[in-house]
Chains A and B, each alone.
Chain A
Amino acid sequence: MLLRHTPKEISERKALTINPAKTCQPVGAMYAALGIHRCLPHSHGSQGCCAYHRSALTRHYAEPIMASTSSFTEGASVFGGQSNMLESIQNIFALYDPDIIAVNTTCLSEVIGDDLKQIINRAMGDNKIPPGKTVMYASTPSFKGSHVTGYANMLSAIVQNFAVATGTRNDAITILPSFIEPSDMSEIKHIAEEMGIKYIMYPDTSDVVNAPMDGKFHMYPKGGTTKELIRQSGDSRRAIALGRVGVFPAAQLLDTKCKVKTDILDLPIGITATDTFVDTLRKIAGVTVPESINDERGRLVDVLCDKAQYVYGKKVSLMGDPDTLFGLAQFCKDAGMQVLHVVTGTPAGAKWDRRVKELLGDGTIVKSGAQADLFYLHQLMQNDKPDLLFGNTYCKYIARDMDIPLIRTAFPIYDRMGHSYFPITGYRGGLHLLIKVLDAFMDRQDRDAPEEKFELVM
């Protein structure tokens, strides 16, 4: 009843977005910047943006999220934000001493046309940037794309600012992950490590936004990829981009700027996609897949074979970010589930829509971009009710109204823990995700079973 005003009949809307399936660029840029060691994200605009982005990430991770802001008032909006930015740089280095300030723009600074490149050059000219420190920026206007676009733009800016080709190749493989949880970043590193591969991965938010409690506050937690490693990625012998929408611009840039040949893969979610990732790593690194990885794979396949009856043929709806959604779609297909709807507010492009359709078949409704929202998804679900919904916290209203379980796999998750500690990528993440799905269906079966059908062993 909480969404009682959402009618079943779908009418076309062109102007009104209701319950968005996306948010704006800077929050994604801020998240990417947090994955760089000793980096302070800075929001160039009025302070509300920074407050909202910090709050969103803080609620999602239950961790301190540090970021500064240029704090525009009306004056700066009229006369330009240069003096606020210059003052910010000075104050930030004086008070917080980061190695890198990663500036993201906002609607406001984009519309007034602040030229950050010029402002940063000016700061350098005025000796406001201490030696060895970097101020970099990504253009992240909120009227284009979504938080995933912002992540992609900041990741490109990181490549642009730090990756350098010296002419001498090293033996590392660079891994660029899309917008995923710190737990997923750890899992990807785990696979590379088990395979004995030398790698450089960035951004890496593990040990930053899922840091342990040790009785101290660390402005810059121990995690995050160092500037030096990112520099070396320009010399890496090969790169792998995991995900497409959130990584493609950065992968392309690393290729064109540093001539690092880059394979673009899907996020390793589920068996098929993880197989591709492991196989690609094996081939380009020239290693044999170790027994430990085979064991992890075997456990996931084992559980799926044992309990496939509880997932096979089940109908699901998916909401989230495009790269994760593609992975989840593959995961559902691996498990024999039928995907009815795939919705993301991120404009993922016609190619993405087509690939999802190719994967899942014409029976699946795929919608992405500014017109795709949760109001529409709820309408679709009222017309063709699924057994399960994957999505962010805001989907809980739909799940309650439809009386179906919700598995939280997207951004933001404000009401459950676990996503930052337990992955959904790799074979171990796949096992974790599969068990969540099985629990949801088996709990449901127990709840709904008449007494004579209530089974002890399932």
Chain B
Amino acid sequence: MLPVQELSSVEDFKANILEAYPPKIAKKRARQIIVNKVENTEDVPVIMANTRTIPGIITMRGCAYAGCKGVVLGPTRDILQITHGPIGCGFYSWLTRRNQTRPTSDQDENYMTYAMSTDLQEDEIIFGGEKKLRAAVEEAVALFHPKAIGIFATCPVGLIGDDVHAVARAMEEKYPDINIFAFSCEGYKGVSQSAGHHVANNKVFTDVVGQDDTFSKPGEFKFNILGEYNIGGDAFEIERIVEDCGLTLHSTFSGNSTYQEFSSAHNVDLNVVMCHRSINYLAEMMDKKYGIPWFKVNFVGAEGTSKSLRKIAQFYQNDDLAKKTEAVIEREMVEVAKVRDDVKSRCEGKTAVLYVGGSRAHHYQDLLREIGVVTISAGYEFAHRDDYEGRKVMPSITVDADSRNIEELSVEADPARYKPRISAEERAKRESEGFEFADYHGMMPDMEDSTLIIDDCNHYELEELLDRFHPDLVCAGVKEKYVVQKRGIPMKQLHSYDYMGPFAGYKGAINFYKEIDRLLNCNAFKFTKAPWDTEPELSATYSYND
């Protein structure tokens, strides 16, 4: 635990930050900037999250469309995706999120490099764009003959009242062998990307998952990973490891994924969740409808990966699987330990702050901890209270007007296909033995006392934080990157990984250790100040003639 005087310094800092705000905003931010205190192993203070961004603030957040099309659906290579709206949204969600994909053959469909849009023009905004959307679907079918088409609504489409769902239904009637579905993910929905994740989960659940009862990958231990988007090849590394353990990864939602894997995803025995924020809804709904249990895992960090693999093996209660898993862990940890110890010798004691997305601000603390880097502050762009405080607070989360606009599906057990993978008694028994299902403890219990937890951190607060605490490393997104680096502080993008990776799994951990070593110890940032900037100016004269 940090010394007590540190606590007063963070309290102080919080007070200073709030002073600059108009009173109403200061009051709101006071509830979103929290000095962490963990009691009884995981009781933490209440944080306010998932509330409106303050107008005029330079924010790190994006919109519902970005969360739906960009994050959740974007990485699937063979669902043809049409953005319905003016050109911008479609353009910006085109390939910038680095979801790598690897079709099994040259003949497989791969639409990842295509950005499709109805490119609405003024006339269509005035007279309605449904006709153009129908025509666009027809043209897409004629050119590509896809298995499935997703349609994504943008802000103006919602306002002019285009019924994207009616168009999807009509087009599906016309092309019965193509699954056509639409998302009401207008950018103004909710308060951040989070609304879009929820919208995406709902539609994938109702229109895609469960459509194919026949397909199943071979293998004894089949499971899905939810909330892994294959940034920089993370999913490839996870696929490698779990295969070596003897597990069958049926589908990844949605990194390196296909429509067939999604539509048959209910034919497995287990769901594990990586990014809790973006996809916990789907895990929950699949549990209710099909009886597939889920728990939270973390493949970021070598320790996290080992722990997650062991938990998955434990779930199946098979000695052979457990043995194989241990062998893989032992094998992989040899190289990991070697690099980790070397890197740690140069990075131990350095400090970091992380402001990223949903779960990454939590997961990456594990990797940093492994090489001795201390996280002094962290927060999420679009999380809810449960991501900070753990799922136990979910019943106490109040639903505000912005969240009420996102549909909450009522899900019941499927009369024909509900099959509890483990019986209620067995589940209770395992739980009593300490095995947790449907769990997530949140980020705050994992962080030290007196660290600062900042929800929806903005530009002004980030700058103040850098001024006050001088961290050695910042992890955030591209909009923050150069703000930080101009000061000579290295910044690691944790949305795009600065075009490196993978950072998940064992090889990923090694990559990340080396990358942090480079950032903290390379020469480049030492050139920030010229030699003549660091010493006071001298004036002198020759004394030759004296």
Tell me if B115 is interfacial: C-beta within 8 Å of chain A: yes
Tell me if A48 counts as interface (CB < 8 A to partner B).
yes
The answer to the question of B263 belonging to the interface, with a C-beta cut-off of 8 Å to chain A, is: no
* A148 contacts B by Cβ under 8 Å: no
Q: Which residues of B contact A67 (CB under 8 A)?
A: 58
**How many Å from the CB of B185 to the closest CB on chain A?**
10
Tell me the smallest distance from the CB of B476 to a CB of chain A, in Å. Answer: 12
Contact among A27, A73, A91 for B57, CB-based, below 8 A? A91
CB distance from B236 to the nearest CB of A (A): 17
CA distance A108 to B188 in the complex (A): 9
Chain A CB within 8 A of B481 CB: yes
Q: How far is the CA of A332 from the CA of B88 in the complex (A)?
A: 30
Contact flag A68-B57 (CB < 8 Å), given A73-B190, A94-B20: yes
Contact indicator A142/B188 (Cβ below 8 Å): no
From B92, B139, B154, B484, A16 is in contact (CB under 8 Å) with B139
A77 to B132, CA, bound (A): 24
- Does A59 make an interface contact (CB < 8 A)? yes
- For residues 54 through 108 of chain A, which have their beta carbon under 8 Å from a beta carbon of chain B? 54-56, 58-59, 62-77, 84-85, 87-92, 94-96, 106-108
Query: In the complex, are the beta carbons of B88 and A26 less than 8 A apart?
Result: yes
Contact indicator A7/B143 (Cβ below 8 Å): yes
Chain A hits for B109, CB < 8 A: 5
Q: Which of B90, B96, B187 contacts A414 (CB 8 A)?
A: B96
Identify which of A155-163, A209-217, A263-271 touches chain B: A209-217
Nearest opposing residue in chain A for B131, CB measure: A15
A397 part of interface (Cβ distance < 8 Å): yes
Residues of chain A with a CB closer than 8 A to B533's CB: 215
| Interface contact A58-B139, CB-CB below 8 Å | no
| CA distance in complex: A91, B58 (Å) | 10
**B-binding segment of A17-25, A165-173, A176-184:** A17-25
A residues near B483, Cβ cutoff 8 Å:
64, 66, 217
Is the Cβ of A94 less than 8 Å from the Cβ of B22? yes
Set A73, A88, A110: member contacting B191, Cβ < 8 A:
A73
B122 touches A144 (CB 8 A): yes
Which of the listed residues A15, A46, A68, A70 has the most CB atoms from chain B within 10 Å of its own CB?
A15
B188 touches A74 (CB 8 A): yes
Residues facing A in B32-79 (CB within 8 A) are: 52-66
Q: Which B residues lie within 8 Å of A2 (CB)?
A: 110, 113
Given A23-B92, A213-B528, A51:B479 Cβ within 8 A: yes
- The complex places the Cα of A271 from the Cα of B70 at a distance, in Å, of 43
Determine whether B261 belongs to the interface, using a CB cutoff of 8 Å to chain A: no
Question: Are A106 and B155 in contact, CB atoms less than 8 angstroms apart?
Answer: yes
Contact A75 B401 (CB under 8 A): yes
Contacts of B140 in A (CB 8 A): 16
Q: In the complex, what distance in Å separates the CA atom of A40 from the CA atom of B506?
A: 44
Among B122-175, those with CB < 8 Å from A are 122, 124-125, 132-136, 138-140, 142-144, 154-156, 158-160
Q: Is B293 an interface residue (CB 8 A)?
A: no
CA distance A446 to B307 in the complex (A): 53
Tally chain B residues at the interface, Cβ within 8 Å: 90
Segment 205-252 of A: residues with Cβ below 8 Å from B? 211, 213-218
State whether A77 touches B142 (Cβ < 8 A).
no
User: Is B305 in contact with chain A by the CB < 8 A criterion?
Assistant: no
Q: In the complex, which residues 75-106 of chain B have their Cβ closer than 8 Å to any Cβ of chain A? A: 82, 85-92, 94-96, 106
In the complex, whether A13 has a CB less than 8 A from a CB of chain B is yes
A11 within 8 A of B: yes
Assembly CA distance A74 to B478 (angstroms): 27
B residues within 8 A CB of A143?
Answer: 86, 120-122, 124-125, 156
Nearest CB of B to A72, in Å: 5
Rounded to whole angstroms, the CA-CA distance of A62 and B138 in the bound complex is 40
Residue numbers in A under 8 Å from B57 (CB-CB): 68-69, 71, 91, 95
Q: A58-B478, A68-B57, A111-B160 are in contact. Are A48 and B135 (CB under 8 A)?
A: no
**Across the two chains, which residue of chain A brings its CB closest to B58?**
A68
**Residue from A48, A70, A111, A217 within 8 A of B56 (CB atoms):** A70
Q: Could you say which residues of chain A place their CB within 8 Å of the CB of B156?
A: 107-108, 110-111, 143
> Binary interface profile of B, 472-502, with partner A (CB < 8 Å = 1, else 0)?
0000011101111111100000000000000
Q: Which residues of A contact B90 (CB under 8 A)?
A: 17, 20
Inter-chain contact A91/B22, CB cutoff 8 Å: yes
- Please name the residue on chain B nearest to A144 by beta carbon: B122
Q: Which residues of B contact A107 (CB under 8 A)?
A: 85-86, 88, 125, 154-156
Which of B1-49 touch A at CB < 8 Å? 20-22, 25
| B478: A residues at CB distance < 8 A | 55, 58-59
Asked whether B487 lies within 8 Å of A216 as measured between CB atoms, the reply is yes
Residues of A within 8 A of B159 (CB): 77, 108, 111-112
Complex Cα spacing A57 to B169, Å: 38
Cα–Cα, bound, A59→B92 (Å): 11
- A residues 1-50 with Cβ under 8 Å of B? 1-5, 7, 11, 13-20, 22-27, 42, 45-50
Whether a CB of chain B sits under 8 angstroms from the CB of A345 is yes
Asked whether A185 is an interface residue with its Cβ less than 8 Å from the other chain, the reply is: no
CB of B482 within 8 A of CB of A5, answer: no
Does B437 belong to the interface (CB within 8 Å)?
Answer: no
| A91 x B54 contact (CB < 8 A) | yes
Complex contacts, A13 vs chain B, CB 8 Å:
139
**B289 beta carbon closer than 8 Å to chain A:** no
Contact B63 A47 (CB under 8 A): yes
Contact among A14, A213, A216 with B135 in the assembled complex (CB-CB below 8 Å): A14
Contacts of A85 in B (CB 8 A): 55
Q: Is the CB of A73 within 8 A of B122?
A: no
User: Could you tell me if B89 and A15 are in contact, using CB atoms closer than 8 angstroms?
Assistant: no
Check: B385 CB closer than 8 A to any chain A CB. no
- B423 CB to nearest chain A CB (Å): 43
Residues of A within 8 A of B158 (CB): 77
- For the complex, what is the distance from the CA of A370 to the CA of B87, rounded to whole Å? 9
Return chain A residues, CB-CB under 8 Å to B488: 213, 215
Tell me whether A52 is interfacial, beta carbon within 8 Å.
yes
Which residues of chain B have C-beta atoms less than 8 A from A426's C-beta?
Answer: none
- CB of B460 within 8 Å of the partner chain: yes
Q: What separation, in Å, do the CA atoms of A51 and B58 have in the docked complex?
A: 9
Given the known inter-chain contacts A20-B91, A72-B188, please indicate yes or no for A96 contacting B463, CB distance below 8 A.
Answer: no
Map CB proximity to A onto B247-262 as digits: 1 under 8 Å, 0 otherwise: 0000000000000000
Given the known inter-chain contacts A73-B188, A215-B533, please indicate yes or no for A18 contacting B116, CB distance below 8 A.
Answer: yes
Q: Which residue of B lies closest to A2 (CB)?
A: B113
- Chain B residues near A65 (CB-CB < 8 A): 479
A394 at the interface (CB under 8 A from B): yes
State whether A16 and B136 are in contact (beta carbons under 8 Å apart), knowing that A59-B96, A71-B54 are contacts in the complex. yes
Known contacts A18-B114, A217-B486, A51 near B119 by CB under 8 Å: no
Q: Given known contacts A46-B188, A71-B55, A143-B156, is B460 in contact with A23 (CB within 8 Å)? A: no
Question: Once bound together, how far apart are the Cα atoms of A59 and B477, in whole Å?
Answer: 11
CB <8 Å contact, B402 and A213: no
9 A–B contacts from the bound complex (CB under 8 Å):
A2-B113, A19-B115, A20-B91, A52-B92, A56-B92, A74-B188, A74-B189, A84-B55, A144-B121
For the complex with contacts A20-B115, A49-B187, A73-B189, 14 further pairs of A-B residues with Cβ separation under 8 Å are A2-B110, A16-B117, A19-B94, A24-B86, A46-B187, A48-B65, A66-B483, A71-B55, A77-B155, A77-B159, A106-B155, A108-B156, A143-B120, A217-B486
List the 5 closest pairs (A to B, CB-CB), nearest first: A48-B63, A24-B88, A88-B56, A91-B56, A15-B135
